[in-house]
Chains A and B, each alone.
Chain A
Amino acid sequence: MTQAQTAHIDPHLIPTLEEVSDPEIPVLTVLDLGVIREAVEQNGLIKIKLTPTYSGCPAMDVIGDDLTAAFAKQGKKVEVDLVLAPAWSTDWISEKGLRKMEEYGIARPLKESADKEALLGNKKLVKCTNCGSTNTHLVSQFGSTACKALFQCDDCQEPFDYFKCLK
């Protein structure tokens, strides 16, 4: 399911929400990432339900502050609630978001079973973001942030991040 199918977002809030991006992957807006579970305006107060990608993701505090600041520019007050259920999944990243992520140099999450094979080093499935080759290998299961693993391309030698599948 995509974010649009499951999250309730007042359409008039979308332009402002699109101004707020993930501080660690700045090309992705919070809508691309699928972390906004609800955004509604009631009696002048904007209520936003935010779900973390990972439990300890430090970006969540920053995103909360950025949302407050973005609406404050319009003189609007925001109340941000952190919700844990249902747990965020990489399936909630929009197709547009996945494309932007790849252009930015982060390989998109594979489907669950393929992801497992790739991270166990059983199969070469992750595509190099530099040359497109799948002749790549896992360097580390943990990358620069909790959501990523580190890969290297065996054709062009480029090291790159892979966004791990989370379901």
Chain B
Amino acid sequence: MNNKDLYNYILGIADNSLILGQRLGELCGHGPTLETDIAGTNISLDLIGQTRSYYQYAAKIQGEGKSEDDIAFLRLERDYKNVLLVEQPNTHFGYVMGRQYLFDVYHLLLMQGLANSADETLAAIAKKGIKEVSYHKRFSGDWVKRLGDGTEESNEKMQEAIDDLWTYTDELFDLTESDEKMISEGIGVDASAFKNQYYDEVTALLKEANLQVPEGKYFIRGGKKGVHSEHMGYLLADLQYMQRTYPNMEW
């Protein structure tokens, strides 16, 4: 088996959780209500926890004596493999919930596939993750419905968020070379195979939420190849600050 491909494959999944976890973490103490604030940080904690399991495994696969922290904090922007969707900023609460929901539906389908991976460690992380991600999806889906089917203003804002974020959804189903190799070995999950299922599910909820399903066919991609949006540098500056300023610091 090619370790480099497995390493890349793990990072492709883990970086999504890290970056979305970081985005949600930014809201700590800034949520619109105490309950949503706590929910955001709880979801962040789940995602960062999953990230730690993936990175610990990736560090072992890499075999260069690096730690999970090295992988999280000491890479350059181009080396992060997360999709563009998860790095989009917390523009307003509608964006936060819209981004979360559009990712959660994908995330759960991916975890359900990964639970059957030929790689035991990945299957174990996924099985644990399924329980958590189902809960995230229930929460974010409820909010998309509540805002979409709420007041005129909340509907307008939720629609704006969905319209903007929609352009990042197609990238979720792109396969990198490492993805394809891992799929052929029964380790990876073929995300392109559940694309229709994804859009069916999202479409049904948007309709229930009194929201228009965007019809645009223009999609933005690049994150999976390391080509990120202008927001990513700022996010990393925040994320990596301590390790860059005080190398090797521990607490």
Q: State the A residues within 8 Å of B (CB).
A: 52, 54-58, 84-88, 119-120, 139-146, 150, 164, 166-167
Does B46 contact A84, Cβ atoms closer than 8 Å? no
Does A56 contact B50, Cβ atoms closer than 8 Å? yes
Does B45 contact A56, Cβ atoms closer than 8 Å? yes
Out of B42, B124, B129, name the residue touching A146 (CB < 8 Å). Answer: B42
Q: Which residues of A contact B36 (CB under 8 A)?
A: 140
Interchain nearest-CB distance for A153 vs B (Å): 17
**Distance A57 CA – B48 CA, assembled complex (angstroms):** 10
* Nearest A residue (CB) for B127: A87
Task: Tell me if B35 counts as interface (CB < 8 A to partner A).
Answer: yes
Does B39 contact A146, Cβ atoms closer than 8 Å? no
Does A55 contact B49, Cβ atoms closer than 8 Å? yes
Does B35 contact A54, Cβ atoms closer than 8 Å? no
**Distance A52 CA – B127 CA, assembled complex (angstroms):** 13
**Distance A161 CA – B127 CA, assembled complex (angstroms):** 26
Interface SS, A side: loop
**Distance A20 CA – B41 CA, assembled complex (angstroms):** 27
Q: State the B residues within 8 Å of A (CB).
A: 35-36, 38-39, 42-43, 45-50, 52-53, 120-121, 123-125, 127-129, 131-132, 135, 138-139
**Distance A85 CA – B120 CA, assembled complex (angstroms):** 9
Does B131 contact A146, Cβ atoms closer than 8 Å? no
Does A166 contact B52, Cβ atoms closer than 8 Å? no
Out of A84, A139, A141, name the residue touching B53 (CB < 8 Å). Answer: A84
A142 and B38 in contact (CB under 8 A), knowing A56-B47, A166-B131? Answer: yes
Does B139 contact A142, Cβ atoms closer than 8 Å? yes
Does B128 contact A87, Cβ atoms closer than 8 Å? yes
Interchain nearest-CB distance for B42 vs A (Å): 4
Across chains A and B, the number of contacting residue pairs, with CB separation under 8 Å, is 70
19 further A-B pairs in the complex, CB-CB below 8 A; given A55-B125, A56-B50, A167-B131? A54-B49, A55-B49, A56-B47, A56-B52, A84-B121, A84-B125, A85-B124, A85-B127, A86-B127, A87-B124, A87-B127, A119-B138, A139-B35, A141-B39, A141-B138, A142-B35, A142-B42, A146-B46, A150-B35
Q: Which residues of A contact B121 (CB under 8 A)?
A: 84
Does A141 contact B135, Cβ atoms closer than 8 Å? yes
**Distance A55 CA – B133 CA, assembled complex (angstroms):** 11
Question: Which 6 interchain pairs have the tightest Cβ spacing?
Answer: A56-B49, A55-B49, A85-B124, A140-B35, A142-B39, A56-B45
Q: Which residues of A contact B52 (CB under 8 A)?
A: 55-56
Q: Which residues of A contact B124 (CB under 8 A)?
A: 84-85, 87
Does A54 contact B132, Cβ atoms closer than 8 Å? yes
